[in-house]
Structure 1
Amino acid sequence: MRPDLCLQNAGRRYGLRGPWVLRGVDLTVAPGRLVRVEGANGSGKSTLLRLLAGIDAPSEGRITGRPRTAYVPERFPPALPFTASGYLTHLGTVHGLSRRAAARAAGEWLERLGAAAYAETPMARLSKGSSQKVAVAQALLAEPELLVLDEAWTGLDTDARAELERAVAERTVAGGSVVFVDHDPRRLAGLPDATYAVRDGSLVRRASREPSPSGPQVTVEAQGPPDGRLPEAAHRTATSAEETAPGRYRLTVPAPHSDVLLRTLLTAHPPWHVVSVSQREDTSGSLR
């Protein structure tokens, strides 16, 4: 397993005499963690994410444990001399994929994000929403160990937003880390392992994972193989797991992540038997 990514007394300013945007930042991002960053506009959130992504270097302090990283910036330059597919294939080779594997991954992500129809469209002619889908796809092509998302949901349609949430779940289940900023407080509500706020150039830890996430929840009843051991990836995806009988579990997961949980159970070795799947509108117990 890769080492933790650590910022130690990290600071960042622009120019030798410029004001400090961040200073004295200590942050550890362990594998498999989901971290939310909050703060007012101009507080330094994007600067922190650029440090984590390796786009900027700290002006003081240090960063250790650098993983393979992918980054979705707040503003993505759409006017590039490529088609959507050509750009993603090129980026895939930069990330170390063969050209054939990069082209295949490009097609898969464009399909998942609902942009397959624009694969051969020049980037300069894409709408803002379609351009954002390409920005998200380029970050997910090579299964990064650290995914950094700066307002990545902005401009996406409903289906693409849900697909990005599923991709976040897949990355953390696979042992990757995700650090994100989003203006919507409901985004991935209750799921982050830690939430930090940027205030006056400092980073303050706000809260651990909330016990009762809001939004639609899916309950999965599953029967395991003879050893009855729940896969670790299922534990990481579910917000709660209760063993109701030997080898039988009741698992609860936010609705956008239910596909990831079901895939984890059905592709385990040996596979689990999914007995039932039901959805609740919220955590109060009312059925949808």
Structure 2
Amino acid sequence: MGRRYGLGGPWVLRGVDLDLRPGTLVRVQGANGSGKSTLLRLLAGIDAPSEGRITGRPRTAYVPERFPAALPFTAAGYLTRLGRIHGLGRRAAAAGAAEWLERFGAADYARTPLGELSKGTSQKVAVAQALLAGPELLVLDEAWTGLDTPAREQLDLAVAELVTAGASVVHVDHDPRRPAASADAVFRVRDGRVEELPAEGPSRAGREPGRWARIVAVGPPGAPLPDALPGDPEHIAGEDGGTVLTVPAGYSDALLRALLTARPPWHIRHLEEAEEPAANPSATAVTAATPTYPTGTGTKA
């Protein structure tokens, strides 16, 4: 596909040919003005190609680089409206709005008009609207910018949950450390073209030996750990009723999936890399309720 602005304008992107596979974290990089945001807008369906086409786009959510805060809604009202647009019922949309505001530490601003929110809180609302309906394709344009540290960690966790459940997440961020997980695929935009680069390191699975993952999870009251968990994780009791599981990093995706799809499901509080199993790892983390994310089928441009 290709994209240019105006009939005689220069091509911003041309000859783009790529596939986004379900269950992958994709990083897009390039110099300022190279066309990264244009590519993301095309993938999200905000813009249409000038030539070529995009096929197979699943249910998609998008966080723009600049959130239009001057809208006639409160934070909760805006999220509820967006939830309805995404197909949620009124009660589910309102519950999702409250849950994501709480998760990002913005519950106190639920009834605040969008125009009166700080830049950081506005960004939390922007991210929450993209997550509350469980997208199959999530497109993030500098979504971490402006968030405080706890909110960045929550966004990292939400991205990990989505990808583990089979969604595709495509992101641009000026900080190569965001998100915390390494990308499965990296694309560079340069001179109007999009080229795939070698992945920036071990994938989320961390398949090389010697690496470990630590997961803090909370199950339903009185429920034991599910049987036969992938990687045979070591587990100890954590704080506030949580369970700390340590597993070789190569099994981390499978373990997350097993916990999230257990019946009833477990909630994931925290996910981090670990050097080795620890006898008394810290279990202090922000509690995060875990929604259900359907699996997409892949997007081709």
Instruction: Give the shorter-chain TM-score range.
Output: 0.7 to 0.9
Q: 1:34 aligns with which of 19, 25, 45?
A: 25
Letter of the structure 1 residue corresponding to residue 74 of structure 2: T
CA distance in 1, matches of 2:54, 2:109: 38
CA distance in 1, matches of 2:32, 2:111: 36
RCO higher in 1 or 2 (8 Å CA, sep ≥ 6)?
Answer: 2
Q: 1:78 to 1:25 in 2, by over 3 A?
A: same
Report the alpha carbon displacement of residue 252 of structure 1 after superposing the two structures with TM. 2.7
CA distance in 2, matches of 1:59, 1:146: 22
Higher strand share: 1
Match of 2:36 in 1: 45
Letter of the structure 1 residue corresponding to residue 30 of structure 2: G
CA distance in 2, matches of 1:196, 1:143: 25
Q: 1:220 to 1:74 in 2, by over 3 A?
A: closer
Match of 1:59 in 2: 50
CA distance in 1, matches of 2:72, 2:44: 24
Name segments (4+ residues, structure 1) moved above 4 Å: 241-244, 260-264, 269-272, 277-283
Match of 1:237 in 2: none
Residue 265 of structure 2 is aligned to residue 268 of structure 1: no
Report the alpha carbon displacement of residue 35 of structure 1 after superposing the two structures with TM. 0.4
Q: 1:262 to 1:20 in 2, by over 3 A?
A: closer
CA distance in 1, matches of 2:96, 2:74: 15
Q: 1:210 to 1:171 in 2, by over 3 A?
A: same
Superposed CA RMSD in Å reads 3.6
Match of 1:251 in 2: 248
Is the contact made by 2:183 and 2:203 (CA closer than 8 Å) also made in structure 1?
A: no
Residue 112 of structure 2 is aligned to residue 117 of structure 1: no
Is the contact made by 1:79 and 1:124 (CA closer than 8 Å) also made in structure 2?
A: yes
Letter of the structure 2 residue corresponding to residue 200 of structure 1: D
Unaligned runs of 5+ in 2: 217-224, 235-244, 283-301
CA distance in 2, matches of 1:278, 1:15: 46
Classify the secondary structure of the residue corresponding to 1:198: strand
Number of aligned positions between the proteins: 254
CA distance in 2, matches of 1:59, 1:93: 31
Provide Cα deviations, 1:19-73, integer angstroms capped at 9, x if missing partner: 1000000110011111000001000000000000000000011111011100000
TM-score, normalised relative to structure 1: 0.77
Q: 1:78 aligns with which of 38, 59, 69?
A: 69
TM-score, normalised relative to structure 2: 0.74
CA distance in 2, matches of 1:219, 1:267: 18
Classify the secondary structure of the residue corresponding to 1:49: helix
Report the alpha carbon displacement of residue 188 of structure 1 after superposing the two structures with TM. 2.9
Provide Cα deviations, 1:111-132, integer angstroms capped at 9, x if missing partner: 0000000000000100000000
Classify the secondary structure of the residue corresponding to 1:63: coil
